Structure 1
Amino acid sequence: MDTNSFKELIKPFFWVEHENNVSVCLNVGEYKSEIFQLREDEGFEGNGYDWGSLAKIFLEEQKPELMEVVKFDPEAGMFCAYSSNTDALKTFIIAFKETCENETLIRDLFSRAELD
């Protein structure tokens, strides 16, 4: 898959290459905000930490083989995952984005996410 196709596939997430690792990020607030509203009364806001919780449960249940190589560094306004293994992070973000687009699956995963 060429770089442009990959970048289109993962939008609104975006890919960042660093000297020793790669990261994939999301400016939070618009994409899938309705998912987080489902548990707003529990304190979920759809911020970067909430996305991190959702991504963590996704990894645990859907891609456990990536748990040791994909790490998270969320902030209030941004979700960020990173790894020194480019292929692993690409595998993660492609699968995570596909899951985000599956309303039934993403809602099911989010039902088990823990507030950070």
Structure 2
Amino acid sequence: MARDPDFDPCKLVEHDSGEYSLVFDDFDDYVDIFDEQGWLGNGYAWEGVVQVLLAERSPEVLDQVEFDSEADLFSVRAGDPEPLAEVAAAIRDAVVDLDVLADAITRAEEQGLLD
């Protein structure tokens, strides 16, 4: 896994198939924010947060990526790293400004993106 500042706080993984994955599993610092709103701060919840943030800032990216999260890992795949950099930027905004994260959780819930 390459560590690249463009993809922080996530990790970019290049697969033998030529596809790329972006993974994020550093949930511990943000669990309380999800918990306050009644959600587990797991990979699936982060998926909802990212979908909300991308829909408003880079909706075209949603057509270029495929979410593949698990409970203990947020993961998204694409054929090119460029849309994954947009996903990483959305996560970075949410972890740098916890108000952005809390607002995205609320909107993800309203849109039925959390389960």
- State the TM-score, normalizing by the size of structure 2: 0.80
CA RMSD in angstroms, aligned pairs only: 2.0
Offset, 1:38: 1.9
Structure 1 gap ranges (5+): none
Q: Is the 8 A contact 1:28 1:48 kept in 2?
A: no
SS in 1 for 2:71: coil
1:1-116 pair list within 5 angstroms = 4-6=3-5, 10-11=8-9, 13-18=10-15, 19-40=17-38, 44-114=39-109, 115-116=114-115
Distance, in Å, in 2 between the alignment partners of 1:83 and 1:17 is: 10
SS in 1 for 2:103: helix
Distance, in Å, in 2 between the alignment partners of 1:63 and 1:26 is: 19
Distance, in Å, in 2 between the alignment partners of 1:64 and 1:71 is: 13
Work out the percentage of aligned pairs sharing the same amino acid: 27
Structure 2 gap ranges (5+): none
Distance, in Å, in 2 between the alignment partners of 1:93 and 1:52 is: 12
Distance, in Å, in 2 between the alignment partners of 1:16 and 1:68 is: 20
Moved over 2 A (4+): none
Offset, 1:52: 0.9
Q: Is the 8 A contact 1:73 1:81 kept in 2?
A: yes
